[in-house]
Amino acid sequence: MDVCLHYKSDQDNSNDLVTISEKALEDFPRRVLPIFTPWFPSGTDRSCPIKPKKAPPVISFNQQKSSEFVPQQPEFVFSTSHCPDDQEKFVDTSKRKLISIPAPADEHSKADFENVAKKRKRSWSVFPPKTKTPQRTQYISRLFHKTVQRYGLDLHQRAKWIISELNCAPQSIEEVWSKLSHAIKHARLPTCNANYQRNLIQIWVYCDISYCEYIGNFLRENFQLSGELTLAVHKLGDIFKL
């Protein structure tokens, strides 16, 4: 690289000028800048999304297989307080499927239950409350277990009990609906929601397969239902009668 220096003719100190020029061409001193780190909220933080801490529920496909459907070892304590005696007799321990059910509140007597039910606002659909109730255990009978296996049903799959007008006699279906709404709202029927199909004059009580038998017995005993109750599953139709 050539450098031309232009200077006024009256300046005679050419040596000084050369020195000054040389200095001007020297590299500037440089220092390494520290990396900028913002102290509050950084761009990285902005790009981080948020998510619920709680994980969603896991419902396994494999539960349909019978080997996993029946637990190898009992994990819960049996309670026979809500099981009919005849079921208790023939259920082999190895075939028992233990599931948890909320206990009905003892203070709710049937009479009280009916009185409150009459005052309740009517609705075509009813859902359980969010709050959890104390848990007890229940099992599935061998007969129902076979049905579940035959159709390859998932324990968390929904099924519906169909209560028709004939099942309700001598009560009216409206009375049964009123009592049922009250029971579901007070978390006495685990996993249940129900619809009143007024055009069909039927009540549809939806629940998990694992609770079906308990729910069926509860409906029959507490609402004094007569005749056969039918259990239906979406796409399969009627699968069980109680």
Partner 1 sequence: MATLTRQDLNFGQVVADILCEFLEVAIHLILYVREVYPSGIFQKRKKYNVPVQMSCHPELNQYIQDTLQCVKPLIEKNEAEKVVVVIMDKDHHPVERFVFEISQPPLLSISSDTLLSHVEQLLRAVILKISVCDAVLDNNPPGCTFTVLVYTRESATRNMEKVQVIKDFPWIVADEQEVLMQEPRLIPLKTMTSDIVKMQLYVEERAHKGQQNVP
Nearest distance in Å: CB 42, partner 1: 8
List the one residue out of 140, 166, 162 whose CA is nearest residue 153. Answer: 140
Nearest distance in Å: CB 6, partner 1: 58
Rounded Cα distance, 235 and 60, in Å: 20
3-state secondary structure of 164: strand
Examine residue 52 and tell whether it contacts partner 1 (CB under 8 A): yes
Phi, psi of 230 (to 5 degrees): -105, 135
Examine residue 45 and tell whether it contacts partner 1 (CB under 8 A): yes
List the one residue out of 103, 234, 223 whose CA is nearest residue 242. Answer: 223
Would you call the peptide bond into 74 cis, given omega within 30 degrees of 0 as the criterion?
A: no
Whether residue 188 contacts residue 106, with contact meaning beta carbons closer than 8 Å, is answered with: no
Examine residue 59 and tell whether it contacts partner 1 (CB under 8 A): yes
Among 23, 54, 119, 121, binds partner 1 (CB under 8 A): 54
List the one residue out of 124, 217, 219 whose CA is nearest residue 176. Answer: 219
Examine residue 67 and tell whether it contacts partner 1 (CB under 8 A): no
Rounded Cα distance, 146 and 129, in Å: 32
Among 35, 48, 77, 111, binds partner 1 (CB under 8 A): 48
Count of residues in contact with partner 1, rule CB under 8 A:
33
Residues 219-238 that bind partner 1 (CB under 8 A): 233-234
Among 4, 5, 50, 111, binds partner 1 (CB under 8 A): 50
Residues 68-87 that bind partner 1 (CB under 8 A): none
Nearest distance in Å: CB 209, partner 1: 9
Rounded Cα distance, 85 and 11, in Å: 124
Examine residue 4 and tell whether it contacts partner 1 (CB under 8 A): no
Residues that bind partner 1 (CB under 8 A): 41, 45-61, 64, 127-128, 130, 153-154, 156-158, 191, 193, 206, 208, 233-234
